[in-house]
Amino acid sequence: MRVNCTINGEKRQADDVWPGESLLYVLRERLGLPGSKNACEQGECGSCTVYLDGTPVCSCLVAAGQAEGRDVVTVEGLEFGRVQEAFLSAGAVQCGFCTPGLVVAVHDLLARNDKPSDPDIREALAGNLCRCTGYEKILDAVRLAAR
Select the span of 7-15, 64-72, 108-116, 127-135 touching ligand FES (CB under 6 A).
127-135
Instruction: Kindly state the smallest distance separating residue 147's Cβ from other proteins, in Å.
Output: 22
> Is 59 within 8 Å of 22 (Cβ atoms)?
yes
DSSP conformation class of 131:
S
As a whole number of angstroms, the distance between CA 55 and CA 41 comes to: 19
Q: Confirm or reject binding of residue 123 to ligand FAD (CB under 6 A).
A: no
Does 55 bind ligand FAD (CB under 6 A)? Our answer is no
Q: How far is the CB of 43 from ligand FAD (least distance, A)?
A: 3
Among 74, 84, 128, 133, binds other proteins (CB under 8 A): 128
| C-alpha dist (Å) from residue 123 to 11, 22, 35, 63, 105 | 34, 26, 24, 26, 11
128 vs 58: CA distance, rounded Å: 10
Q: Is 42 in the site for ligand FAD (CB under 6 A)?
A: yes
Site for other proteins (CB under 8 A): which residue of 4, 13, 18, 117? 18
Work out whether 105 is an interface residue with other proteins (CB under 8 A): yes
Contact between 131 and ligand FES by CB under 6 A: the answer reads yes
Q: What is the 3-state secondary structure (H, E, C) of 33-88?
A: CCCCCCCCCCCCCCCCEEEECCEEEEHHHCEHHHHCCCEEECHHHCCCCHHHHHHH
Interface residues with other proteins (CB under 8 A)? 1, 18-20, 22, 41-44, 46, 49, 55-58, 60-63, 65-66, 68, 105, 108, 122-124, 126-128
Interface residues with ligand FES (CB under 6 A)? 38-41, 43-48, 58, 60, 93-98, 130-133
